[in-house]
Structure 1
Amino acid sequence: MAQVFGEFTENFADRSEYLVLGFSPSSLPIQLRWKTNGLSADFLGDYVRNFFPGDTSANLTKQAEIGSAVSFIANELLENAMKYSDESANQPVNLEVHLFNDHLIFLSKNSVSPKAITSFQSYIQEIITGDIGQMYIDQVEKSVTNQEEEKSGLGYFTMIMDYDAVLGWKFEESENDSHVTMVTTMIQLPL
């Protein structure tokens, strides 16, 4: 049975375009993955930017803003999906971007370790119910004082604070293996 947190929709009837990328999280060590994640995220930014044509400075500014937002969000989603995938599940990581008239939807899908599900869902509840502004400030302070901490936790907060993104998550059994839990993270970005 699927568990949904935040704002999660599966209605894609009015999308105009979409692109799906698939990755094998275990094909390269995570340190080598960072470069390919950035390249993939920049590709998505350039891809989406092309759907906002025009030669006026206002249109060029909007193109640049949208491309930058797409690159940032795609990179954060890929990094999280790769970093927190359950390697023993041998499941691919997928990243999708869907274009609508007034918004974009990003979906990342990856396996998640059974040991990490409870703490991840608790973290999600904090994001959904907490004061995002205060949580953002607290996390910035924490990351400044603890340089060695691998996960800063700023990605989701930045998406909400800087891009007015709406977040949602869906946890469900893998279609291929009922012992594997998959998490789909949805980011809705208004245009």
Structure 2
Amino acid sequence: MKEIIFGDYLHDLPPGHDYLDLGFSANSRPIKNRWRNNLLSAYFVADYLATFLPIDDDDPQAKRRQQDYKGSVSYVANELLENTMKFHSPSDEYPVRFGIHFIEEPEKTIVLMSRNTVTLEAGDRFQAFIQELLSSDPQELYIKRMEENNEDSGLGFLTMIIDYSAKLGWKFEPIPEHPQLFLATTLVQLVL
């Protein structure tokens, strides 16, 4: 098994930029108890980001744009955290990682990242969905997935693309000491 990359994956985030990286013990409490913490974490990350967005007091739209960015980031962060926690393998050896990066060059971009371990079976299903997502019209796939009413629908990723013009990328890495697991990383880029 070797590393597999899909979509708009950034291999190396530029050094010297602002970022926040968080770790979670995904299996310390039942998943239902984690949902509230996911939302709180998403709001925290959005508030953290807001400190890097300049506000021009002479621009009446600046505060509104900042609120829009915070709303976008909190939605995407919450979706990423929910998916990451929901599909994390039962292994406590690898914590869930979540981060936000603010990149100013070549254009102002917010990069949200989640990393978790997934079983080979879950990883294969996820990769099949990613391939379908990348080869389909997002609007048509959204409607199809809504009609299927499946728990693993991928609607969060589709909403990121359709409503927030997000660019998505994924990396699946083998874990030599645990051949039944993948290390799955998801990157979501939001250009400001």
TM-score by length of 1: 0.90
- Number of the residue aligned with 1:27: 28
Structure-1 residue corresponding to 2:94: 91
Is 1:73 aligned with 2:55? no
C-alpha deviation, 1:2, in angstroms: 0.9
Question: Residue 84 of structure 1 aligns to which amino acid in structure 2?
Answer: F
1:107 maps to a residue whose letter is: M
Q: Which ranges in structure 1 are unaligned for 5 or more consecutive residues? A: 144-148
User: What's the offset of the Cα at 1:142?
Assistant: 3.4
Q: Is the 8 A contact 2:26 2:92 kept in 1?
A: no
Question: Residues 3-44 of structure 1: CA distance to partner in whole angstroms, max 9, x if unpaired?
Answer: 101111123226620000100110110000000000000000
SS in 2 for 1:72: helix
| Deviates most, 48-57 or 105-114 | 48-57
- The equivalent of 1:146 in structure 2 is none
The correspondence of residues 1-191 of structure 1 with structure 2, limited to 5 A, is: 1-13=2-14, 16-54=17-55, 55=57, 56-88=59-91, 90-101=93-104, 102-143=108-149, 149-174=150-175, 177-179=177-179, 180-191=181-192
Question: What is the rounded CA distance, in whole Å, between the counterparts of 1:190 and 1:165 in structure 2?
Answer: 8
* Cα gap change, 1:115 to 1:151, in 2 (>3 Å): closer
Among all aligned residue pairs of Structure 1 and Structure 2, give the percentage whose two residues are the same amino acid: 40
The 3-state SS of whatever aligns with 2:91 is helix
CA contact (8 A) 1:92 1:110 kept: yes
Q: 1:80 to 1:51 in 2, by over 3 A?
A: same
TM-score, structure 2 length as denominator? Answer: 0.90
**Contact 2:111/2:189, CA 8 A, preserved across alignment:** yes
Q: 1:95 to 1:82 in 2, by over 3 A?
A: same
* Aligned equivalents of 1:52, 1:153: Cα separation in 2: 30
Give the number of equivalent residue pairs: 185
Name structure 2 gaps, 5 residues minimum: none
